[in-house]
Every structure is written in structure tokens, then in C-alpha cells.
Amino acid sequence: MKETETSRRSLLLGMSALPALAVAGQSAASDLSKTLTAAVSGAAGAGAAAARGTLVKPTVRAPRGARGIFTRLPDVDLESQQEYIWGRARWGMQITRAAEARGQEILRAHGIDPMKPTDMKTQDIAALLHADPLIARAARMGSLNNYDTFATLSNYFNSKGDYYHDVLAASDKQGPGALVLSRNMDVPEYTMHEIHNQRGGYMGDPFAGFVYFYGTQVLSDGTNEQDTTYDRIAASIPLPADGKVRRILDQGTGPGQLASALKRRFPDAEVWGLDVSGPLLRFAHMRDTEMGLGVNYAHKLAEDNGFPDNHFDIITSVSFHHELTAEASKEVFKEVHRVLRPGGVYRPADSGINPRTNTPHDKLGHYIGCRVNHEVWTLEWSDMDRLGAMRSAGLIVDPMGIPGVADGGHSWWLSAIRLIATKA
Amino acid sequence: MAKDIAKTSKPDPKTYTTDFIKSDMDNMTFLGNPHIDALTHALQALGAEVWTGRRRLYVIEALMARKIPVTPESIQAYMPTAEEEQQWKADRDRMIATVNSPFLRAGDVTFPSDKAFSYDPHKEPEIARRPKSEISK
């Protein structure tokens, strides 16, 4: 076992970090210990800001400390790899814009207006473009960003599998929030895909929570490290008419960032985050435990959540429905109607909730999202009658009910999502 | 034979994982030749590895400047200043642009081709002339 692993194991066993760090095999070990003692910042982990230009005091789960509520990646080289991919994705906007311009030029040369709705099949439009070198390279480069981000993270956490199994197992039993996991649930096949080309998807990788959380920091251009996007979404949700918010449900909660934000806004409410993925929930619970918020997490299907009728005052989801089959989305709307109390607020914020326009530009965008980003169900979501399905379930829907959430980075799409619903 | 995946699956009692359905991204060819796709991917991976080494050097330099002993542990524990982060990211972006800028080329002049043979130096300056200010672009 390498020394760094020994150190982390020692940390797991509750031993002081500094003696472990002092076993560095350096001749100046005792000096190092003194220097570390002097140089280590007061930050212990998530929730405390470390002084910059100093060494960070490690904790069990945060061997490299934290920046605010963000726990740094556990290895500097892993962090550097992610930083590089993040920079590559930013640079990739140049080639994406150049490819878009080139694609429009080619379509116009064939007498096709890229912004005018058409009956042309997506594959016929794509056939005009795929041989262009610039467009092909843009698709190749774009595909590699997500793939490499998730693959490097998954490789790392699985290579330290014993350690992270122990971390999660210890966290599972801690509070203040509850973690309700199920070994008997029937997990539907449609949830098992490698969405976004995340290796193993949400279901197959025991460390999918770590992989998704850190991967989406890269893919969000670093704009959500402190949950700022989710805090803005939580702040945008209107109160029920009577102002009472006792229980909140966040569906498809993943690593729990919106559930955490809701608990920050409504500290006295009972907040539940719900997901089909045990690995994502275990990570969410671990993070919640570190922050001491007290969100409860349940391993359930949103289509069949097991809560009593009329139970919740607010129900939310973000970037959720486009990862379900159309049939599953309809069932979720029925379940929302069942567990939302009369006058309660339902706020599903999902990319692709705006109707498709059937322009070549739009068709290709959806196709690339579905095929290159492996969002296998996004076309079903964008093609279904979403408002009709919500209304059929009994919900009262206002598609332009609230202002969109203004935020930078990847979450620009949130500004267009203004839908709010309730129940009579 | 591929493992048969049931329509539903029970979570593993220890990890709460289930089977998963593999994406075909590993085998997708965008550039007309799987060897070129593989080389492009390898180049991107190599870039990340080179940057990882360079960023380690920056951390070591920062530790030395503060007279903190350079050890594997101190390298891991160092929290860069905002100024250092900004400088390192600027260098990262410069490196990424250098490595990747060839991918921005239109690449639509195949050689030999009618287009290449029809190059007319009397006409091309009218199309290709650029102001002095673009020398570095």
C-alpha cells in the first residue's frame, strides 16, 4: 500500500492527520511536522474556507480540505486532469461555434434554411453535414469531454474502492438526516443506461455519486461549486398560497444539491430527496452529513414513492424528466398529483421542456444531445405532450408562471423554464 | 455471451449498484477512420497528462517560494492563492489552444484536387489578404 493510502486509512480510523503526514520519508520530517502545524489553515473540511497560499488540514473525507462547501478532489493529479478537461470544454466552444456556422453555410448552399421548420428527417439533414471536416472534429472533440471527465473520475474512485466503500458505509449510519436504502426494489431497465457517457451510469458504479458530482462541476464550467445554481432555483420557488411549507420532496435528487438548497431555504421543513440510484443517494447523504443540514434521502422510484396522499407542500425536480421514458414521466406526474397537497407547489425544471421547433438547427441539436451525449430518452421527453400529460394527471399548470432563474455558466437554459403547477 | 439483463434488477446488498447498459461511445467513429479517432482521443489524454505534470511543478514552486518543505503530502495539501490559480489557468488555456488550434482549421482543401490545382496567385490575394494586425491569429 502506498503511503498516501496509509495516511488516508489512518484518517479513516480517526487518527490525527499530522503524524500521518509526518511519515513522509523525508529527512526533514520533524521540521515538516512543525511547518505543517504552523502553515495548516484553520479549515477542517466542508463548510470552512481554507486560507489560500497555505496547506490545508485534511479530514477523513477531505484529504485535501475544502473551499467553502466544496470538498476538493482527493488527489492533486486528479484535480489537474479535471481542470484540463474543463479548459478543453471551454476552448471547445470555439470549435462548436465554428462548426455551427459551417453547418448553416452548407445547409444554405443546399437551399435549406437552418432556422425554418422542415419535414426533412434528422438523418437526411445530418447526411449533408457529417463529412465536413470541421463539423466532424467538433462532434469528436465534444464527445470526449464528458467521456474523459467521467472515465478519469470513475477510474480514480474505483482504484481506491476499499477506502471509499468504508467512507460510505460509515456515513450511511450517521445523521442528522436519514438515509433509507432498499435492497428489494425493482430497478427498471430504463434507468441503467450510461447517460452522458458516465461510466456505469448512475446504477452500475458504486461511486457514481462522487463521479457525477465532481464531473458536473467540470461540465458546469465551475459555476456551481458552491451550489449557487441550486440556491437560486430554491429561492425562485413560490410559496403555497397559505404560506405553509412543512414537507418538501425533491425527485431525482442525484447528489442532493437542490435538496440541500431547499433545506437551506426552509430549515424547519422536512426535506426528502428521492432517487432510484443507491450510489447517488449515499453520496448525497454523506455530503449532507458533512454540512449538517438534515435532509432525508430515500431510495425510491419517483413513479412509486410510497409517501401518503396529499403529503408534500412543495415538490421539485431539476434536469430529471429528460432522463426518463415518456411513459415513466407520465407516471411521475400522476404520483406528484397524488402526494402533493391541495394548493401545494410543483416546480419541475428540466432542460428540453420548451417545445421543439422542428428547424434543422433544433433537430440536429436534439440529435447530438441524444446520440453524442448519450441522453437516450431526451427525444421522447422533447416529443411528448408534457403539459397535456401534467394536466391529464390532474395538475393545474401555468407554463409561464414564474420568472426564469438567471444564472451563468451551463445553467443558461434555466432562464427559459418558467413552468409552475399546483393541485386543486 | 453478453450477460442477459432482466427488465428489472435488484440492488447489490453491499453497494446498491445494479447492472448497467453500456453506451456505444467507445466504438463511435466521427473522423472517417477509427485510427484517427483513436489518435485524437490519445492526444487529448496526453494533453491532460502533460498539464498534470506542469501543474505539479507550479505547486512545487509555490511551496518553495514559501519555504514549505516539498513532500508528497504538502503538494497534495497546498491551497493556491487566487492569483496563482488565475495564472495557472491562463497557462493551461494557452496550452490547450496550442494543442487544439489545428482542429479549428476548415480543412476543406484536399490535395491534390481540382481546387488545389486551380489555385491562382493572381486571384487569391483578393480573397486571402489579411491586415497586419492578424499576424498572430
Contacts of A206 in chain B (CB under 8 A): 15-17
pLDDT at A19: 27
Contacts of A83 in chain B (CB under 8 A): 51, 55, 89, 92
pLDDT at A6: 29
**Of the candidates B8, B47, B71, which has its C-beta nearest A189's C-beta?**
B8
Task: Evaluate the CA torsion angle A316, A371, A220, A194 in order and state its sign.
Answer: positive
Taking a C-beta distance cutoff of 8 angstroms, is the pair A125, A364 a contact?
yes
Residue A60 has pLDDT above 90, yes or no: no
Give the mean model confidence (pLDDT) for residues A210-225: 87
Residues of chain B with pLDDT under 50: 1-4
| Grid coordinates of A94 | 470555439
Q: Please name the residue that has the C-alpha cell 407516471.
A: A331
| Nearest-by-CA chain A residue for B41 | A144
pLDDT at A403: 81
pLDDT at A22: 27
Could you tell me how many residues make up chain B?
Answer: 137
| CB contact A278 to B (< 8 Å) | yes
End-to-end CA distance of chain B: 53
pLDDT at A354: 58
A contact residues 210-269, partner B, Cβ 8 Å cutoff: none
pLDDT at A407: 61
pLDDT at A341: 98
Taking a C-beta distance cutoff of 8 angstroms, is the pair A92, A337 a contact?
no
Residue A353 has pLDDT above 70, yes or no: no
Choose, out of B71, B83, B91, the residue to mutate when testing the contact with A (most A CBs < 10 Å). B71
Encode pLDDT of A25-43 as tens digits: 333 333 333 433 344 433 3
Give the mean model confidence (pLDDT) for residues A42-59: 64
pLDDT at A380: 87
| CB contact B21 to A (< 8 Å) | yes
Q: Would you place residue A48 in the very low, low, confident or very high pLDDT band (cuts 50, 70, 90)?
A: very low
ipTM of the modeled complex: 0.87
Q: Please name the residue that has the C-alpha cell 507550479.
A: B58
pLDDT at A221: 74
Number of DSSP helices (H) and strands (E) in chain B, helices first: 5, 2
| Grid coordinates of A301 | 422510484
Q: Percent of chain A beyond pLDDT 70?
A: 85
| CB contact B87 to A (< 8 Å) | no
Residue A75 has pLDDT above 60, yes or no: yes
Paired residues of B83 in beta bridges:
none
pLDDT at A406: 67
Give the mean model confidence (pLDDT) for residues A231-241: 94
Contacts of B40 in chain A (CB under 8 A): 137, 140-141, 144
Taking a C-beta distance cutoff of 8 angstroms, is the pair A282, A288 a contact?
no
pLDDT at A418: 84
Q: What angle do CA A63, A161, B3 make, to 5 degrees?
A: 150
| CB contact A186 to B (< 8 Å) | yes
Q: Would you place residue A171 in the very low, low, confident or very high pLDDT band (cuts 50, 70, 90)?
A: very high
Separation of alpha carbons A96 and A115, rounded Å:
17
Residue A351 has pLDDT above 80, yes or no: no
Q: Would you place residue A371 in the very low, low, confident or very high pLDDT band (cuts 50, 70, 90)?
A: confident
Q: Would you place residue A164 in the very low, low, confident or very high pLDDT band (cuts 50, 70, 90)?
A: very high
Q: What angle do CA A9, A15, A20 make, to 5 degrees?
A: 70
Encode pLDDT of B65-81 as tens digits: 999 999 999 999 999 99
pLDDT at A190: 96
Give the distance from CA A138 to its chain's centroid: 24
Give the mean model confidence (pLDDT) for residues A182-191: 95
Taking a C-beta distance cutoff of 8 angstroms, is the pair A231, A407 a contact?
no
Separation of alpha carbons A44 and A305, rounded Å:
37
Q: Residue A168 to residues A206, A285, A413: CA-CA distances in angstroms?
A: 10, 9, 33
Question: What average pLDDT does chain A have?
Answer: 85
Encode pLDDT of A137-155 as tens digits: 999 998 999 999 999 999 9
Q: What angle do CA A248, A253, A259 make, to 5 degrees?
A: 45
Q: What is the pTM of this model?
A: 0.86
Taking a C-beta distance cutoff of 8 angstroms, is the pair A86, A79 a contact?
no
pLDDT at A379: 83
Give SS3 for A99. helix
pLDDT at A40: 41
Whether residues B5 and A187 touch (CB distance < 8 A) is answered with: no
Residue A21 has pLDDT above 70, yes or no: no
pLDDT at A249: 98
Residue A394 has pLDDT above 90, yes or no: yes
pLDDT at B26: 86
pLDDT at B109: 74
pLDDT at A352: 56
Q: Would you place residue A412 in the very low, low, confident or very high pLDDT band (cuts 50, 70, 90)?
A: low
Pairing relationship of beta strands A247-251 and B78-79 according to DSSP bridges? unpaired
| CB contact A160 to B (< 8 Å) | no
Q: Percent of chain A beyond pLDDT 90?
A: 64
Contacts of B44 in chain A (CB under 8 A): 88, 141, 144, 148
